[in-house]
Chains A and B, each alone.
Chain A
Amino acid sequence: MDIYQRNNITILGKGTIPMIFAHGFGCAQHMWRDIWPAFENEYKIVLFDYVGSGKSDLSAYNEERYANLNGYAEDVLDICKALKLKDAVFVGHSVSSIIGVLASLKEPSFFQSLVMIGPSPRYVNDLAYHGGFEKKDIDELLVTMEQNYEGWANFLAPVIMKNPERPQLSQELTESFCATDPTIARQFAEVTFLSDNRKDLNKVTHPSLILQCSDDIIAPLAVGLYLKANLKNSTIKIMKATGHCPHISDPQETIQLMKEYLTQLNH
């Protein structure tokens, strides 16, 4: 199986240290378009789409494999193996932060550090743990998604990326926005929002950066602090950026915090 094609791998940058960017639920690799250029001189940039998202090979989708975040972690490991990556900086948005955790437990030598943007080990509240949602919210989300996919309205349809600063890229990065297959998107939502990986946090050995947005309903502050308390060797930065996608809403702050952290880490 050609992993390059399966995961629509894009390799950019002039550096040698690998930096893998992993998109979250509902996105694909072009989410990183305002972030990766800031690292292209020092790093070897690896962008990809999970199987089922973006321009990945949908025929490689396996309902059993992707019914578990470990299946997604295997995508990351497959890519590291195919590209022979070692000591990579793993940058994960949202659910990908936890996918990175799982991958790092299985193949520690592939990774150097984990950068987590809006991470959450569990979205649904559980006793004293405040994840931010109730199970019924997630059930409703799945229905709402269905309502968007079943009909004519499709804001997820393929679009040509606007990228005025880098016209040469607009061609390559012509993407379908999200998983266009409703069944896959629904399963990804289910796997993401019903996941519980709290027990894996204290197993992590790699240093990690938690980028916590202000006012993020998907991963509220309490969740960020929970991660900080349970991840050894972790740093948390509370961002000025609001919402769940600081890499889109405030790329500058995201880049600056990542750079500060990585400089500190490697000195």
Chain B
Amino acid sequence: MRDIDILPLLHIMPAGCVLFDDNGIIQSVNNSLSHLLEYPSQELIGKHIEYIFTVSSRILYQTQVYPSFKLNEKVDEVALSLKSKQGKTIPVLFYCNRTVVEEKIRNVCIIVSAWERQKQMTEISEAKRVQQIVKENETLKKLKEELEIHEQQLDRQIFLLLERNQEHVQLNKVLSHDLQEQIRKIGVFSDLLQSTDELRNNSESKSHLQKIQKSVLKLQNLIRSLQLFVHLDSIEERLTQLKVEDIIKEAKKEAINGTGFNDFILEVGEISSFEGRSYQMKLLFTELFKNAIQNRNPDNRLAIHIESLLIEENMYLANNKRYRYTEHIRIKISDNGDGFENQYSSYIFGLFNKLNTKTDRVGLGLALVKHIVSYHYGTITATSEVGKGSSFIIVLPILQPK
């Protein structure tokens, strides 16, 4: 039997056939396809293969089908949609091969309409959606149980926190009254001792006494700082929309008053308003400025630079399974001071930790800063380079959680 010439049949076979080059330009289409698309074939030749797809199918083609085709030189059974000249959407299955025929690259594509498949798929999707709802219901039930457990945990934690708070109040009382009273007494009596004749003539005992008095002063200073730290939690301060520029101005004044040093430049970029407690925020900037002043580089005039940026960060801080990105402000406070080695970048925020032993500060400033940041559900990090300066980066939510 003689072979039947298959070429003419290509035009009438029950599938669209299209040839395109490596740039995606259509070189040839069979009659079935031009019939399906209601285009004369001349109108399709020279167009990009994407031209025959709906917009959504073009996205899928560009992002998934084309890369897959390029890497594997074939794709099979991709469900896409064509758009006819009259604007009709036609669901199809798309098969494509890249072959070399007579030293020419041929991208050969077969397109078959898939109305039934689409119907079936829609049904499957619908069924899946129902399944999904059932699943969500089950998840909801499970979540309800988990919620109960979490609530119980939370209740226990709140109970402990309340206890801890009570202890804080008592500790504050001890610090502000009982302890101070005893120290005051030591001070008074050592003053009395100093004025006695025996001591006036005994230089050794006199020097011992002076040491006691110096320690008394240090102790008083330490207690005052501790009190400030503990006290911060017990003041009830309202949340307001902060005028950050004003707060920074006041903090600068306080830092100058506190240190007696005013020979520095403060550059402040634009800072968006955010919600917070204004007294605490002022304290935060004051302490950061004082820290910069104390750690300034004697060879350079101190320059402090503040800039900020709005970014989205996860509002969950402790639960690492939950995410909700909300607007935060990232404030960077940098100086050209002495700097420190980065291995100390968390140490410096610890209570009574200080790197600079020359100053008589007790090492509370940055601990206070961290405390305030945490109280506003934020984070603080520090980076530094010895001799170049330090940067503190504070990230705070724009709106405080209700």
Chain A residues proximal to chain B, CB less than 8 Å: 24-27, 30-31, 62, 64-65, 67-68, 70-71, 74, 94, 102, 105-106, 109, 133-134, 137-141, 143-148, 150-156, 159, 161-162, 177-178, 193, 203, 215-218, 242-245, 248-249
**Residues in A whose Cβ lies below 8 Å from that of B118:** 147
Q: Which of A65, A102, A138 has the most CB of B within 10 A?
A: A65
Q: Name A140's contact: one of B50, B56, B65, B322 (CB within 8 Å).
A: B56
Q: Which 6 A-B pairs have the closest CB atoms?
A: A153-B77, A140-B56, A141-B56, A64-B323, A26-B63, A26-B64
A147 touches B73 (CB 8 A): no
**Residues in A whose Cβ lies below 8 Å from that of B330:** 105-106
Compute how far the CA of A113 lies from the CA of B327 in the bound complex, rounded to whole angstroms: 25
**Residues in B whose Cβ lies below 8 Å from that of A31:** 67
- Mark the stretch among B203-211, B258-266, B308-316 that contacts chain A: B308-316
A159 with B50: in contact, given A217-B58, A218-B59 (CB under 8 Å)?
Answer: no
Compute how far the CA of A248 lies from the CA of B309 in the bound complex, rounded to whole angstroms: 36
What are 23 A-to-B residue pairs whose CB atoms are below 8 Å? A27-B63, A30-B71, A64-B322, A68-B323, A70-B325, A105-B309, A106-B311, A106-B330, A137-B59, A147-B91, A147-B118, A152-B77, A153-B78, A155-B64, A155-B76, A159-B72, A161-B71, A162-B71, A162-B73, A177-B68, A203-B310, A243-B66, A245-B70
A153 with B79: in contact, given A144-B56, A217-B50 (CB under 8 Å)?
Answer: yes
Q: Is B23 an interface residue (CB 8 A)?
A: yes
Q: Is B2 an interface residue (CB 8 A)?
A: no
Min CB distance, A134 to chain B, in Å? 8
B321 touches A62 (CB 8 A): yes
Return the chain B residue nearest A152 by Cβ: B77
Return the chain B residue nearest A159 by Cβ: B72
A144 touches B79 (CB 8 A): yes
Known contacts A70-B312, A155-B68; 15 additional CB pairs below 8 A are: A26-B67, A31-B67, A70-B314, A74-B314, A106-B313, A140-B81, A141-B60, A148-B78, A153-B79, A156-B64, A159-B72, A161-B71, A162-B73, A217-B55, A249-B66
**Residues in A whose Cβ lies below 8 Å from that of B121:** 146-147, 150-151
A245 with B66: in contact, given A64-B324, A150-B124 (CB under 8 Å)?
Answer: yes
**Residues in B whose Cβ lies below 8 Å from that of A242:** 23-24, 48
A137 touches B55 (CB 8 A): yes
B67 touches A245 (CB 8 A): yes
A248 touches B67 (CB 8 A): yes
**Residues in B whose Cβ lies below 8 Å from that of A74:** 314
A141 with B59: in contact, given A151-B79, A248-B71 (CB under 8 Å)?
Answer: yes
- Using a CB-CB cutoff of 8 Å, which residues 1-42 of chain B contact chain A? 22-24
Q: Is B367 an interface residue (CB 8 A)?
A: no
Min CB distance, B65 to chain A, in Å? 7
Interface readout for B74-94 with A: 1 if CB under 8 Å, 0 if not? 011111110000000001010
Compute how far the CA of A203 lies from the CA of B309 in the bound complex, rounded to whole angstroms: 7
Q: Is B294 an interface residue (CB 8 A)?
A: no
A24 touches B79 (CB 8 A): no
Compute how far the CA of A70 lies from the CA of B324 in the bound complex, rounded to whole angstroms: 10
Compute how far the CA of A137 lies from the CA of B55 in the bound complex, rounded to whole angstroms: 6
Compute how far the CA of A178 lies from the CA of B80 in the bound complex, rounded to whole angstroms: 18
**Residues in B whose Cβ lies below 8 Å from that of A144:** 56-57, 60, 79-81
Q: Is B157 an interface residue (CB 8 A)?
A: no
A140 touches B54 (CB 8 A): yes
Compute how far the CA of A153 lies from the CA of B57 in the bound complex, rounded to whole angstroms: 16
B64 touches A245 (CB 8 A): no
Compute how far the CA of A248 lies from the CA of B324 in the bound complex, rounded to whole angstroms: 35
**Residues in B whose Cβ lies below 8 Å from that of A162:** 71-73
Compute how far the CA of A137 lies from the CA of B70 in the bound complex, rounded to whole angstroms: 25
Q: Name B325's contact: one of A25, A68, A152, A203 (CB within 8 Å).
A: A68
Return the chain A residue nearest B309 by Cβ: A203
Min CB distance, B84 to chain A, in Å? 16
- Using a CB-CB cutoff of 8 Å, which residues 79-125 of chain B contact chain A? 79-81, 91, 93, 117-118, 121, 124-125
